[in-house]
Homo-oligomer: A and B are copies of this chain.
Amino acid sequence: MTETRTAAPGDAADDPSAPPATPASRTERAAAVTLSDVARAAGVSLATASRAVNGSARKVRPDLHDRVLAAAASLGYSANGPAQAMARGRTSVVGLVVHDIADPYFSTMAAGVVRAAEERGLVVTIGTTGRDPVKEAQHVAALRGQRASAVVVVGSRTGEAPVQARLAEEVAAFEAAGGRAVLVSQESIPVDTVVLQNERGAGDLARALVGLGHRRFAVLAGPPGLLTARDRLAGFRAGASAAGAQVQDELVVHGDFTRDGGHAAMLSLLDAGFARGCVFAVNDVMAVGAMAALRERGVDLPGAVAVAGFDDISTLRDVTPALTTVRLPLQGIGEQAVHLLLQERAASPRTVHVDGEVVLRASTPDLTTGRPSS
C-alpha cells in the first residue's frame, strides 16, 4: 500500500436548498443544532418541540407540529442519540456477539440480524471474540454498560463450566438491567434461545449417507471443546449406528473449525492410511479444506473418498464436486433471534428450534446406483 495525498479538489458539491451544514473550513467544528434551537426557531417550548419531533403519547396541534418540523428541517436538526438514550433510560442498540465476522457462517447470520433490526429502526453493534469464549462474557458486560436494549450471542458453547457460568452471570445481569438477551445454539443458560438441531441434522445426514450405500465413515470433528462440533459428531455417530453402520474411534480426528483445520485433519487421516470411505466434516469450510487435501494427494474424489459437510454456506455451493451438507437457514436464524428479542420477556425462557435439512449433492455418490446423487 502506498500513501499519497490528493489535493482537495475545489469541489463544491453544495446544494443550497439542502441542510446548510457545510462548515466554514475543514478544521472548524460546527456547534450542533439542539432541540432548544429548534424550539426557539419555531416559537414553541422545548417540550412541544420534543413532542413534535419525536413521537409522544401527547398530541401537538397540527399547525405547531408543522412549524416545529419545518424549523427542524431548515436548521438541519438531528437528535442527539446519547441524550435521548439517557433521558429515556435506554438505547435502541442491539449488540451482536460472534466469533469472527469474516466467517460466512457468522456473517450470514449477522446479515439476518441486521436486516431484521434495521427494519425496526434498531442499530446493531458487532463484537467479535476470535473464538475466545471468555470474551463473550466481556462483550455482554460492555453492552450492559452501553445500555444496549438487547444482545444476541452466537454461541461458543465450550462446555467449560466456569466460562459458561461467567456468561450466564453476565447475561443475567444484562437482563436484570432491563435488557433482552437471546443466545443462539446455547442451551445451558436459562434465557431465550435459538437452538440449532445439530445432533438431529447430523443424524439425518448419516442415515441418508448410509442410504446411499456408504458404510465406512471418518469424521473431521472440529475442536474437542466446541459443543456445536461435539453435537454434530455425536449425532452423526448415533445416526450411523441407527442405520447399521459405525464410526470407528480411530477415524475421528479433531482439528480447527476452519478450512485449514479441515485440510490438516484430512491430511492426518490420509497419513493414517485412510483411503476409501466417506468423510463427514462437521462444517462446510472444513469439508472444503478436506477436499483440497484430497485433491493435493491425488485421491479420487468422490470416487474413493466421499465428503460431506454441514451448514450449506452459500459461497461454497459451487465447489466441485458439489458438497453434500446439512442446510441451516442461517439468515433466518439471525432474523429469528431478533424476533425473539422483540417479544416481551416471558415468565420462563423461550426456545426456538431450528432444523437442518440434508442436501445430497455430488460429493457423496449414490453407491447403490453408481451415479452421483442429486
Contacts and interface: CB of A to CB of B under 8 A. Distances in A.
Interface of A: 1-9, 11-15, 18-23, 25-30, 32, 76, 78-83, 85-86, 91, 93, 100-102, 104, 107-108, 110-111, 114-115, 118, 123-128, 141-142, 144-147, 164-166, 168-169, 172-173, 175-178, 187-190, 193, 259, 285, 288-289, 291-292, 295, 313-316, 318-320, 329, 331-332, 336, 345-355
Contact of A80 (B101, B102, B145, B353): B145
> Which of A101, A104, A144 has the largest number of chain B CB atoms within 10 A?
A101
A17 to B, nearest CB: 11
Count the copies. Answer: 2
> Which of A13, A19, A27, A141 has the largest number of chain B CB atoms within 10 A?
A13
B78 A141 contact: yes
9 contacts: A1-B329, A8-B348, A22-B348, A82-B86, A82-B91, A101-B101, A101-B111, A115-B128, A259-B315
B291 A318 contact: yes
A102 B331 CA distance: 9
A126 B146 contact: no
Contacts of A108: 102
Contacts of A127: 114, 118, 123
B128 A125 contact: no
Nearest to A1: B354
Contacts of A7: 348
Contact of A295 (B172, B188, B320): B320
Contacts of A25: 172
Contact of A348 (B26, B30, B123): B26
A126 B104 contact: no
Given A114-B126, A147-B80, A288-B318, A336 B26 contact: no
Contacts of A18: 166, 169
Given A6-B187, A81-B91, 11 more contacts: A2-B355, A6-B348, A8-B348, A8-B349, A13-B169, A22-B347, A26-B345, A27-B347, A82-B91, A115-B128, A318-B319
